[in-house]
Amino acid sequence: MGAEQRKETRYTVELPVDMEETRGVTRDLCTSGVFFETDKSFTPGQTIEFSINFIDNSYPILLKCVGEIVRIENKGQKIGVAASISSYGVEKVEGR
């Protein structure tokens, strides 16, 4: 097995992920990518739009991302998805 190649710090965190047709939960993320588990299958190389919900009662925000699927892992009943993040924006969740 090779040495760790990531340049950014990776954070282990469980946050809701919303996509057009499904939902998921993050397992880890860094400034350039995210790994999440979901029920829907994706294809490596596929462009994906998703939102990560940072739940904080004082200032709840959505991180709206566009990225590319880089890896898929079969995780039993769930599918693990690694995606790069090519662009993002931050939106405050209204009504909270």
* Structural domain that includes position 51: 11-91
Number of domains the chain is built from: 1
At 46-71, the pLDDT tens digits run 999 999 998 776 778 899 999 999 99
Q: For residue 1, tell me if it sits in a domain.
A: no
Q: For residue 5, tell me if it sits in a domain.
A: no
Q: For residue 86, tell me if it sits in a domain.
A: yes
At 8-21, the pLDDT tens digits run 799 999 999 999 88
Q: What is the rounded CA–CA span in Å between residue 29 and residue 14?
A: 9
Q: For residue 66, tell me if it sits in a domain.
A: yes
Element (DSSP H or E) covering residue 90: strand 78-92
Average confidence score pLDDT of the chain: 88
Q: For residue 68, tell me if it sits in a domain.
A: yes
pLDDT at 28: 95
Q: For residue 4, tell me if it sits in a domain.
A: no
pLDDT at 5: 57
Q: For residue 6, tell me if it sits in a domain.
A: no
pTM, to two decimals: 0.84
Q: What is the CATH number of the domain that holds 85?
A: 2.40.10.220
